[in-house]
Structure 1
Amino acid sequence: MNIKWKATALRMGELYVEKSSLTYQKDVGDHLWIPMWATALSGGGYNILIDTGIHELQWVEEHIGLCRQQSDETIIEALRTGVGWSPEDVDIVINTHLHYDHCGNNRLFKNARFYVQRKEWEAAHNPIPCQEPIYLKKLFNSEAVNYFNWKFVDGEDEIVPGVKVFLTPGHSEGHQSVLVNTEEGILCVSGDVSNLLENINENLPAGILTSTKEMYSSMEEVRKRAQYILPGHEYSINKFQCSHFPSIVKRVNVQ
Structure 2
Amino acid sequence: MSHYTIKALRIGELYLPHGGSLMRDPIHCWLVQGNGYNILVDSGMAEIPVIRQRLKVGGSGGGHPALLALLAEHGLTPADIHYVVLTHMHFDHAENLDLFPDSMVVVQRAELLGAVDPVPSQRVYYWQSSIDNLLARKRTRKVMLLDGDHELVPGVQLLSVPSHTEGMQVVVVSTEKGRAAIVSDLGDHYRYWFPADARATKSPQRSLSDAFLTGNIRSESERTWQKAMAHVVANSDIVIPAHDFRVPTSVPEQWFAIPDSTDGDLAHVPPPGGFN
Give me the TM-score of the superposition, normalised by structure 1. 0.86
Q: 1:205 aligns with which of 184, 208, 214?
A: 214
Q: Does 1:10 align with 2:9?
A: yes
Q: Does 1:67 align with 2:77?
A: no
Q: Deviations along 1:225-249, whole A, 9 cap, x unmatched?
A: 1111111111124xxx711477465
Give aligned-pair identity as a percent.
27
What amino acid sits opposite 1:149 in the alignment? Answer: K
Conserved 8 A contact 1:228-1:246: no
Structure 1: distance between partners of 2:64 and 2:100: 18
Q: Greater shift after overlay, 167-176 or 139-148?
A: 139-148
Q: Does 1:78 align with 2:85?
A: no
What amino acid sits opposite 1:147 in the alignment? Answer: T
Q: C-alpha root-mean-square deviation of aligned residues, in Å?
A: 2.2
Structure 1: distance between partners of 2:218 and 2:63: 31
Alignment match, 2:244:
234
Alignment match, 2:265:
none
What amino acid sits opposite 2:154 in the alignment? Answer: P
Conserved 8 A contact 1:167-1:176: yes
1:33-52 to 2 correspondences below 5 Å: 33-52=24-43
Structure 2: distance between partners of 1:104 and 1:61: 15
Alignment match, 1:114:
105
Tell me the number of residue pairs that the alignment of Structure 1 and Structure 2 aligns. Answer: 239
What amino acid sits opposite 1:14 in the alignment? Answer: E
Unaligned runs of 5+ in 2: 196-211, 260-276
Describe the shift of the 1:84–1:140 C-alpha distance in structure 2 as closer, same or farther (beyond 3 A).
farther
Alignment match, 2:178:
185
Describe the shift of the 1:94–1:13 C-alpha distance in structure 2 as closer, same or farther (beyond 3 A).
same
Q: Does 1:97 align with 2:88?
A: yes
Structure 2: distance between partners of 1:248 and 1:69: 27
Please report how far the alpha carbon of residue 30 of structure 1 lies from its aligned counterpart in structure 2 after TM superposition.
6.1
Q: 2:233 aligns with which of 223, 233, 243?
A: 223
Structure 2: distance between partners of 1:214 and 1:73: 38
Please report how far the alpha carbon of residue 146 of structure 1 lies from its aligned counterpart in structure 2 after TM superposition.
4.2
Higher-Rg member (1/2): 2
Conserved 8 A contact 1:13-1:73: no
Please report how far the alpha carbon of residue 107 of structure 1 lies from its aligned counterpart in structure 2 after TM superposition.
1.0
Conserved 8 A contact 1:5-1:44: yes
Unaligned runs of 5+ in 1: 20-27
Runs of 4+ residues over 4 Å off in structure 1: 70-73
Q: Helix, strand or coil for the counterpart of 1:234?
A: coil
Q: Greater shift after overlay, 132-141 or 164-173?
A: 132-141
Describe the shift of the 1:8–1:191 C-alpha distance in structure 2 as closer, same or farther (beyond 3 A).
same
**Of Structure 1 and Structure 2, which has the larger fraction of its residues in helix?**
1
Q: Helix, strand or coil for the counterpart of 2:37?
A: coil
Give me the TM-score of the superposition, normalised by structure 2. 0.80
Please report how far the alpha carbon of residue 18 of structure 1 lies from its aligned counterpart in structure 2 after TM superposition.
4.3
Conserved 8 A contact 1:118-1:174: yes
Q: Helix, strand or coil for the counterpart of 1:110?
A: coil
Q: Deviations along 1:158-216, whole A, 9 cap, x unmatched?
A: 00000010111111111000100011210000111011111111211122111233221
Conserved 8 A contact 2:46-2:63: no
What amino acid sits opposite 1:207 in the alignment? Answer: N
Alignment match, 2:199:
none
Please report how far the alpha carbon of residue 43 of structure 1 lies from its aligned counterpart in structure 2 after TM superposition.
1.8
